[in-house]
């Protein structure tokens, strides 16, 4: 069973049913809500690919080179624009927003793409994007990284889910915060509620990988089995 899930987990990781790979994000939010503690805000870096890219930019690396390295490491989709569009994060944000009771759809989420439409898949091939398109983004991204650093912050690609809606895109966060300390392809989620107002509940761990995702899916299957067995 576990070996079968390993073989299929790459696709499952990008489905509508995965938030944080094997991390207990949904379970934690559900438990907090069930306790009567209203969740006011969720801020999360939910893409292992973009988490890696953003943390590598802090070291002064060019955006284009970091994305190419991420692709070589197997962190990105075959076309990195599938990750850079932010839609994967938006799908996960939608799940969490609905979990908080928001009656929204993808059209209600403001998603910031890391590349303009003139570099989109309808305009240029994946090969052209990697060879020439990516480099056109270096200067703009570098300016944003430097501006954040001057304010003592770092850039992260996050979803922000609050009472007024959901946004997905680049955001400056303090260097000493859980999101600011993020390195590599980990996922990090900060959950704010009445009990976790000044010090959020932080969930962090591997956000990508077949083994991690397979373990999370297996845990979900076991939970479903327990649920059905509990029914009369």
For residue 219, pLDDT over 70 is answered with no
Which among 68, 71, 92, 146 is annotated as catalytic? 92
Residue 59 covered by a domain: yes
Q: In the predicted model, what is the mean pLDDT of the chain?
A: 86
Residue 129 covered by a domain: yes
**Mean pLDDT lowest among 79-83, 165-169, 200-204, 227-231:** 227-231
3 state DSSP class of 216 = helix
* Percent of the chain predicted with pLDDT > 70: 80
Range of the domain at 82: 24-209
For residue 6, pLDDT over 80 is answered with no
For residue 14, the model assigns a pLDDT of: 35
The pLDDT of 157-168, averaged and rounded, is 93
The pLDDT of 163-183, averaged and rounded, is 93
For residue 152, the model assigns a pLDDT of: 94
* Confidence category of residue 135, pLDDT binned at 50, 70, 90: very high
Residue 216 covered by a domain: no
* Confidence category of residue 24, pLDDT binned at 50, 70, 90: confident
* Percent of the chain predicted with pLDDT > 90: 69
Residue 167 covered by a domain: yes
Burial (CB count within 10 angstroms: exposed 0-12, middle 13-18, buried 19+), residue 173: buried
Residue 10 covered by a domain: no
Task: Report in angstroms the alpha-carbon separations of 152 from 28, 146, 180, 212.
Answer: 31, 10, 10, 33
For residue 169, the model assigns a pLDDT of: 97
Q: Quickly list DSSP for 34-96.
A: HTT--EEEEEEE--HHHHHHHHHHTTT--HHHHHHHHHHTT-S-SSTHHHHTSHHHHHHHHHH
The pLDDT of 96-115, averaged and rounded, is 94
136 in catalytic set: no
The pLDDT of 101-109, averaged and rounded, is 92
Residue 114 covered by a domain: yes
CATH classification at residue 107: 3.30.360.10
pLDDT (tens digit, 9 = 90+) per residue, 197-215? 989 999 998 765 556 566 6
Residue 142 covered by a domain: yes
Residue 140 covered by a domain: yes
Specify the higher pLDDT residue, 221 or 23.
Answer: 23
Task: Give this prediction's pTM.
Answer: 0.83
Count of domains observed in the chain: 1
Name, in order, each residue with C-beta under 8 angstroms of 62's C-beta and a sequence gap of 6 or more: 135, 138, 142
pLDDT (tens digit, 9 = 90+) per residue, 52-92? 999 999 989 999 999 999 999 888 999 999 999 999 999 99
Specify the higher pLDDT residue, 231 or 151.
Answer: 151
Q: Are 56 and 72 spatial neighbours (Cβ–Cβ below 8 Å)? A: no
């Amino acid at each position: 069973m576990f070996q079968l899930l390993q073989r299929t987990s790459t696709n499952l990781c990008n489905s509508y049913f995965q938030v944080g790979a094997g991390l207990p994000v949904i379970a934690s939010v559900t438990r907090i809500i069930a306790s009567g503690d209203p969740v006011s805000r969720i801020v999360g870096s939910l893409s292992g690919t973009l988490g890696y890219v953003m943390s590598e930019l802090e070291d002064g690396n060019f955006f284009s080179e970091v994305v190419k390295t991420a692709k070589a490491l197997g962190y990105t989709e075959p076309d990195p624009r599938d990750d850079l569009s932010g839609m994967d994060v938006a799908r996960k944000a939608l799940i969490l927003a609905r979990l908080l009771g928001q009656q929204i759809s993808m059209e209600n989420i403001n998603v910031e793409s890391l590349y303009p439409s003139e570099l989109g898949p309808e305009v240029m091939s994946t090969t052209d994007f990697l060879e020439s398109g990516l480099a056109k983004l270096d200067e703009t991204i570098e300016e944003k990284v430097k501006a954040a650093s001057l304010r003592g912050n770092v850039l992260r690609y996050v979803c922000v889910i609050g009472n007024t809606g959901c946004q997905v895109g680049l955001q400056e966060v303090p260097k000493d915060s859980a999101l600011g300390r993020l390195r590599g392809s980990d996922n990090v989620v900060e959950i704010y509620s009445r009990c976790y107002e000044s010090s959020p509940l932080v969930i962090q761990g591997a956000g990508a990988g077949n083994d991690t995702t397979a373990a999370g899916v297996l845990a979900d299957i076991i939970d479903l089995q327990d649920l059905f067995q509990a029914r009369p």
